[in-house]
Structure 1
Amino acid sequence: MAFIQQNQQAVIEVSVIIPVFNAADTLSSLITNILSETRIAIELIIVNDGSTDGTGSIIQGMRDGRIILIEQENQGVYAARNAALAIHRGEWVIFLDADDDAEEGFIFARWQTAIKTQADVVIFNAWRTGAGTSRAAVHTKQPYGHSLSGHEWIRHCVTQREWPHYLWLQIVRSSYAKGNALHFQTGKSHKDILWTLDLAVANGRFYLSDLKDYTYRINAASITHRHDYYDVRAQSYIDVVAEIIRLAELKSNKAVSLFLYRHALREARHFLGLYRNHVHNRPALKADFSRRISKVSLARGISSISDVFFLVKLWVKLS
C-alpha cells in the first residue's frame, strides 16, 4: 500500500473519506466541491482501490495540502474505507461516493448540525435520481428534528420499515467510532447495513435531519445491477442476516433484540428476492443460508401474518 500525505494540520475538524475505483470521469467535480470549503479544517482521504484508468494520476495532480491519497491493490470498497479510518485525524468523519453530487457548503452545514445537537451520529436526507426517474427523497419516515438513542432509533426504523443505512447520509463523531472499535466488515456488498447497525447498537446519541444536501445517482450500469454480481449480493445478504442475528443474541442488546430479529427477517426478504429470480449457484447459496441461519432465530422476528407467509415461502424454497 502506498500512502501520500500532502500536509499536516494541527486540528482537523472533519475527515472526508472517498474510496475510488476507475472514477477518472466523475471524481473531479466532487473533489472541487469539497476543497472549496475554507470555513473549517478538513482532510480529504481518497483511497484509490486499484484503479486502472488513471484515477491515481488525476488525484496526485491536485495540489492541495488537505488531500491524502492512499494507493492500494483492489480489495473492495469496505477495505478501502477501513484503510482511511485507520489513519484519519478528524474529530468527525463523512463517507462519500465518487460519482454523486453534494450541495456547496454541505460539509460545514453537517458539522454545524452535529455540533449544535451534540450528537454522536447525525443522519441527513438526500435526493435519489436516475435515468428516466423523477427526483425523490431517500427516506420519508424519520423523526426529523429530534434526538434519540441508538436503540430508540433501531426500534423506530424497524417499526417504520425504513432503514436509511447509506453511508453518505452520515456524519459520525470519530471518538464514538473509535471508542466502540467500529470498522467495516469485509465483503463486496451490503456491509453498510452492518456499519450503520453497529453505530446504533452502540447506543449513542442520534439526530435526524431532513436536510437534503446530497444527490444519489442510480446507475443502471453499476456492478450491483450486473447479472454476474447477483450471487455476490445474495451471499452478502446471508452475511448480513447472520450478523444481525448474532447481535440480537448478545446479552448487551437485550433491549432491542426483538427489533433486531425483525430486522434480520426483513433483510432475509431481500435475499429471497435475489435467490428466486437472479442467482446462478442456488445449491451453494441454499446450503450456506441453511447452515448459518436457523428457522428459530428468524421466527423470533415474526410480527405479522405476512411474516409467517414469508417464512413458509422461504423454507419451502430452500428445502
Structure 2
Amino acid sequence: MKNKIDVSVIIPAYNAATTIGCLINKILSETRVAIELIVVDDGSTDGTANVIHQIKDERLALIEQANQGVYAARNAALALHHGEWIVFLDADDDITDGFIEKRWQAAIESQADVVIFNGWHSGADQHRRAVHRKQPYGVTLSGHEWIRHCVTHREWPHYLWLQTVRSSYIKQHSLHFQPGRSHKDILWTVHLAASNGRFCTLDIKGYIYINNKASITHRPDYYDVRAISYVEVIAEIIQVAEEVQNKKIKVFLYLHALVEARHFLGLYRNRVRDKSSVKYSFEANITLGSLFRGLNSFSDVFFFIKLVSKLF
C-alpha cells in the first residue's frame, strides 16, 4: 500500500453478499487516486466476508466483528483509516465510473473541510430524483452558516454517502458516530457542522441510493426502534444547541430539533406499536420547553399543539 493515501473509503456491510463484490470492484478499478478501502463486516451470516476474501488487492482491508450496528462499524474503520479524505458508502448502493477520483478532485479544489455532494434516489421503478435541490452550490460557508441555510430552507442533507470529509477535521474535533440503531447520521452531520469548519456543497451526482424495501428499516417491528432513535436525536440536537457558544445559531438548532420532532410524531401516530414505551422515552429525554424555543411560525405552533395533545 502506498505511504500517502488520498481517500479512505469506508463501507459497513451486513448480509451484503449479493451487492458488495460489484461495489468493491468498481472502487478498486480506479487507479488515478491513492485509495484505501476499508470494509467492516458487521456479523454477516450470508457469506459477505467470503465474497470479500476472494478479492485480492492490497488496497482492500476487511474488518470482521460481531454484529454491533452500522455506526459501530464506521467507528471501527475511522480508528484505522490513513487517508487525507474520507468517503462513506453503503454496501447495497451504486456509484458511477470514476466516482472516487471526481470527488477527490472536487474536494481539493473546494479547499473546504466538508464537501456535500448530490446524488440520486432510485426507486423500484428505476425512476431517479435528486437528493437535494436547495443547497448553495459552489459557495463555501462556515458550518454555522450551512446549518442556518439548511434549516431555513427545510432541507437537511444528512446522508453520509453525500459527504467527503477532511480527515484532519474529524480528528481535530474528535468526531465519531454515536451508538444506536437508526438515524445517528443526523447527529454526525449536526456535530460536523456545529464544529464550524468550511462547508461546500456541489451539485455533482455520482451516487445512486437504491431504495431497498426489504431492508430492516421498513420492517413493521422496527418502527418503534426508529421512533426511540428520533427521541435520542432530538435530545442530542437540543444539547448541542444549549452548549454552542454562538447565540445566533442556537435558534436554528432548536428549529432543527423541532423538524426532527415532526418526523418522530409521524412515526408515533402511524407506525409505532408500543406507544406507551415510546411516549415514556420522549418524556424522559425531552422537555417541551426546549422544543418551544424552536417555534418560528404559525405552522410550528400548530405542530407543537398537536405534539402536546398526542403525547400528553
Is the structural similarity TM-score above 0.5? yes
Give 2:40's aligned residue: 47
Amino acid at match of 1:166: Y
Amino acid at match of 1:315: V
Give 1:113's aligned residue: 106
Count of residue pairs the alignment pairs up: 312
1:255 aligns with 2:230: no
Deviation track 1:49-95 (CA, whole Å, cap 9, x = no partner) reads: 00011110111111000001000000000000000000000000000
Give 1:5's aligned residue: none
Give 1:161's aligned residue: 154
Q: Which stretch shifts more, 199-208 or 132-141?
A: 132-141
Deviation track 1:165-200 (CA, whole Å, cap 9, x = no partner) reads: 000001000000010000000000000001111110
Match of 2:141 among 148, 165, 170: 148
Asked if 2 retains the 8 angstrom alpha-carbon contact of 1:23 and 1:98, the reply is: yes
Query: How far 1:144 sits from its partner (Å)?
Result: 0.7
Equivalences for residues 40-189 of structure 1 within 5 A: 40-132=33-125, 134-189=127-182
**Partner Cα separation in structure 2 for residue 295 and residue 168 of structure 1:** 33
Amino acid at match of 2:48: T
Structure 1 vs Structure 2 CA RMSD: 0.9
Equivalences for residues 1-40 of structure 1 within 5 A: 8-40=1-33
Identity of aligned residues (%): 65
**Partner Cα separation in structure 1 for residue 4 and residue 205 of structure 2:** 28
SS at match of 1:113: helix
Query: How far 1:292 sits from its partner (Å)?
Result: 1.2
Give 2:296's aligned residue: 303
**Partner Cα separation in structure 1 for residue 155 and residue 244 of structure 2:** 25
Give 1:4's aligned residue: none
Query: How far 1:287 sits from its partner (Å)?
Result: 1.2
Q: Which stretch shifts more, 215-224 or 262-271?
A: 215-224
Deviation track 1:2-55 (CA, whole Å, cap 9, x = no partner) reads: xxxxxx431111000000001000111111110011111110000000001111
**Partner Cα separation in structure 1 for residue 284 and residue 266 of structure 2:** 19
**Partner Cα separation in structure 1 for residue 143 and residue 244 of structure 2:** 16
Give 1:215's aligned residue: 208
**Any gaps of 5 or more consecutive residues in structure 1?**
1-7
Asked if 2 retains the 8 angstrom alpha-carbon contact of 1:201 and 1:253, the reply is: no
Q: Which stretch shifts more, 82-91 or 133-142?
A: 133-142
SS at match of 2:18: coil
Asked if 2 retains the 8 angstrom alpha-carbon contact of 1:247 and 1:253, the reply is: no
**Partner Cα separation in structure 2 for residue 285 and residue 214 of structure 1:** 35
Amino acid at match of 1:101: D
Match of 2:260 among 252, 267, 277: 267
Amino acid at match of 1:113: A
Asked if 2 retains the 8 angstrom alpha-carbon contact of 1:155 and 1:256, the reply is: yes
1:230 aligns with 2:223: yes
Asked if 2 retains the 8 angstrom alpha-carbon contact of 1:120 and 1:205, the reply is: yes
**Partner Cα separation in structure 2 for residue 312 and residue 93 of structure 1:** 42
Q: Which stretch shifts more, 287-296 or 137-146?
A: 287-296
TM-score (norm 2): 0.99
Query: How far 1:133 sits from its partner (Å)?
Result: 5.9
Runs of 4+ with deviation above 2 angstroms: 251-255
TM-score (norm 1): 0.96
**Partner Cα separation in structure 1 for residue 77 and residue 125 of structure 2:** 35
Amino acid at match of 1:312: I
**Partner Cα separation in structure 1 for residue 270 and residue 50 of structure 2:** 41
**Partner Cα separation in structure 2 for residue 49 and residue 257 of structure 1:** 37
SS at match of 1:17: strand
Query: How far 1:253 sits from its partner (Å)?
Result: 4.1
Amino acid at match of 1:284: S
Deviation track 1:278-312 (CA, whole Å, cap 9, x = no partner) reads: 11111111111012111111011011111111111
